[in-house]
Structure 1
Amino acid sequence: MKMAKKGVDKKVTLVDVAAIAGVSAITVSRVINQPEKVSEILRQQVQKAIDSLGYIPNQFASSLASAKSRVVGVAIPSLTNIVFTDVLRGIYDVLGATGYKVLMVDTHYSALEEEKMVRTLLSQAPEAMIITGGGQTKACQQLLQKAHIPIVQIMELLEEPLDMNIGFSHWQAGYDVAKYLLSQGYNRPGFIGARMDTRVQQRLRGYRAGLEEAGVYQDAYIATSLDPSSIGLGGQLFRRLMSASGGHLDAVFCANDDLALGALFESQRMHITVPHSLAICGFNDIEAATYVNPSLTSVWVGRYEMGVKAAEMILDCISHGKKPAQKMVDMGYQIKERDSTRQRR
């Protein structure tokens, strides 16, 4: 057999893979583009040929031929926030197992950036989109609706979703935290929030409503910032809140666990004992909440489960060509009580 000269090897094609695998080119294409429709033995046989030849499928050409991109676009506000990494893990676990590719963009909590990124995603002809929340610009909403593809808005329940919706009521969660702290005997609770995106604002409104019903709400007991959340900022806001309230607070609800951890560490530096002198409650129930001392009460939401459910709804739409009977799914939440709020039973 004549050997090709080094540096002039011809590009490996789908036909080459088919010859090595002993199957037709159509079968190789099906293995690459619709792996769920072939047997595991056949898939492994073709994959072995692909690996041995170093073949790289041309996904763009495949999508043109089939009118299917096998791409799902995902728009999230932050790539570094653990809240969204858990959601993404759920999305990847479901879509990756079926051969779909996830094309992800970071909108940086900006509606205008989100509109720009959605335009970028739609230019790649995704078969569906998963997008965070309902704060899109009017232009962005129109873009998504005119795309005529399945869309799932996640992370919050919306009154008028664009298509499908998975989340929970941030307002109700905030309200329930207020009622929980009051039931524990705390009657001078405050609030710390950062970035103040729409979901944080909903938590604050629900929390305020619960406190107003009990006649204990005070503006001086609220400290917020438009800066991104961090443990350091949580400490700064906690110190500001204690100063503004004259040190009269007996509980603090923090819009997320980073802020709550900052408040906890700052309270220790200020020699304020938790929960003996002050209760602290966070939100999102990240892993660290269980391991700090005292352990942190927080609101658990099924972030991974939300990602899984969103991906499953997308696949169901694509596979059956119709929307599920239940287009809105309330994932709920739980207040995970730990040591930071247990003192006043």
Structure 2
Amino acid sequence: MKTVPRMPGAREVPSAATLKHVAERAGVSPITVSRALNKPAMVSADLRDRVRLAVDELGYVQNRVAGALASASSPVIPVVVPSLSNAVFVETIQGIQEVVQRAGFQLLLGNTEYDLDREHAWISTFLGWSPPGLILAGTRHQPRTRALIERWGRPVVEIMEVGAKPIDMNVGLSHGAAGAAMARHLLERGHANLLFAGCRIAEDYRAGQRFRGFDRALASFGAARRPPLTRNVPSSPALGGDMLVEALRLDPPPGAIFYANDDLAVGAILRAQREGIAVPGRVAIAGFNGLDISGLVTPGLTTIVSPRRAIGRIGAEKLLGAIEVGSPKVRRVDVGFELIVRGST
């Protein structure tokens, strides 16, 4: 297909699929496509499936601006995150908001709950409003989602981690390097039989990246390695305490536990106090994120600080720059991290 004129910052892409293209691919009339998308109860399940398959194959996006938002006066920037209950993403959104509101934009927020199907649904909906750019938390997407975004062709920033093959621009940190840094710290402190503990690592793949970095570092030092202790439920301080008790029943018990986040680690420290478990005497405890509460417990929690507000701010600045003047020369920014050592290790 021929290419279409690009807005500043857009990548050259094939011309967008239309309702007529979807109808031809599905072997139905345009009115049937419209009904399947807007009033699905009016068509059979077989027709809905044929239309949805054609939509996915062609990367078709409904132009909602022509309808409900035709009179909207404020430009919008969609932001898709995996959680709105996690303080990490709340602070990241705050960093984004500080920048985009000064530029006259408003945010549209989508919460995926770590569900990639839900991410695809949010992005499909948001692109229908024809925004000038998009911010996504993470670099892992379904192939159909990545294809949809690439066909759309406008500026995109993926934030939170640095990825090997970002769609467009990328701002974050190396979670593998962070895991390795914690492993080195715990080994240098003389702790043995180190254990990584986290929740929903398959969905929270950044925690999985930290574990793999942690594990690789243990291997490089010739230290004992073991599978992570995991639970397939959302993390919480109470769960961190339960996982501490479970970990200490292992043979051999860990000399130190690196929790996937500060919520779990703080809960472990509080549980240790109630159970009379010496920290770090019997077991050292460390976390990740650098939440304020990590410095308020006793002993203070050793943690890795992720500059989440800065990630949001820099990501938003990159996006607005691409919207206004075109793609930047520096398309990837590694913001790094800081290891804060306190009494828990």
Both proteins in one fold, TM over 0.5: yes
* Residue deviations 1:281-329 (CA, integer Å, cap 9, x gap): 1000100001111111100011000000011011111111x11110000
Q: In 2, distance between residues paired with 1:315 and 1:225?
A: 39
Given that 2:192 and 2:224 are in contact with CA atoms closer than 8 Å, whether structure 1 keeps it comes out as no
RMSD: 1.5
Q: In 1, distance between residues paired with 2:169 and 2:103?
A: 21
**Number of the residue aligned with 1:205:** 212
Shift of 1:250: 1.5
Shift of 1:268: 2.0
**Number of the residue aligned with 1:215:** 222
Q: In 1, distance between residues paired with 2:282 and 2:295?
A: 20
Shift of 1:167: 0.6
Shift of 1:184: 1.1
Question: Among the aligned pairs, what percent are the same residue?
Answer: 35
* SS of 2:224 mapped into structure 1: coil
* SS of 2:198 mapped into structure 1: strand
* Residue deviations 1:180-229 (CA, integer Å, cap 9, x gap): 11111112221111121210111001101111222223326x31112111
* SS of 1:177 mapped into structure 2: helix
> What letter matches 1:198 in structure 2?
Y
**Higher RCO (CA-CA < 8 Å; seq separation 6+):** 2
Question: Taking structure 1 as reference, are residues 130 and 311 closer, same or farther at Cα in structure 2, changes over 3 Å only?
Answer: same
Q: In 2, distance between residues paired with 1:143 and 1:97?
A: 29
Question: Taking structure 1 as reference, are residues 124 and 59 closer, same or farther at Cα in structure 2, changes over 3 Å only?
Answer: closer
* SS of 1:74 mapped into structure 2: strand
**Is 228-237 or 302-311 further displaced after alignment?**
228-237
* Residue deviations 1:90-138 (CA, integer Å, cap 9, x gap): 0001111111011110011011110111111111111100001112101
Alignment of 1:66-81 (within 5 A): 70-81=75-86
* Residue deviations 1:242-268 (CA, integer Å, cap 9, x gap): 11234x322110000011012112222
Given that 2:81 and 2:112 are in contact with CA atoms closer than 8 Å, whether structure 1 keeps it comes out as yes
Please say if 1:235 is aligned against 2:241: yes
> What letter matches 1:78 in structure 2?
S
**Number of the residue aligned with 1:23:** none
Q: In 2, distance between residues paired with 1:60 and 1:87?
A: 30
Given that 1:167 and 1:306 are in contact with CA atoms closer than 8 Å, whether structure 2 keeps it comes out as yes
Among 154, 173, 181, the residue aligned to 2:178? 173
Given that 1:282 and 1:296 are in contact with CA atoms closer than 8 Å, whether structure 2 keeps it comes out as yes
Q: In 1, distance between residues paired with 2:272 and 2:251?
A: 15
**Number of the residue aligned with 2:140:** 135
Alignment of 1:143-154 (within 5 A): 143-154=148-159
Alignment of 1:158-307 (within 5 A): 158-196=163-201, 197-219=204-226, 222-246=228-252, 248-307=253-312
> What letter matches 1:227 in structure 2?
V
Q: Which has the larger radius of gyration?
A: 1
Please say if 1:95 is aligned against 2:100: yes
TM-score by length of 2: 0.77
TM-score by length of 1: 0.77
Structure 1's unaligned 5+ residue stretches are 1-57, 64-68
**Number of the residue aligned with 2:333:** 329
Structure 2's unaligned 5+ residue stretches are 1-67
Please say if 1:108 is aligned against 2:113: yes
Aligned residues: 276
Please say if 1:83 is aligned against 2:103: no
Given that 1:208 and 1:217 are in contact with CA atoms closer than 8 Å, whether structure 2 keeps it comes out as no
Q: In 2, distance between residues paired with 1:219 and 1:184?
A: 19
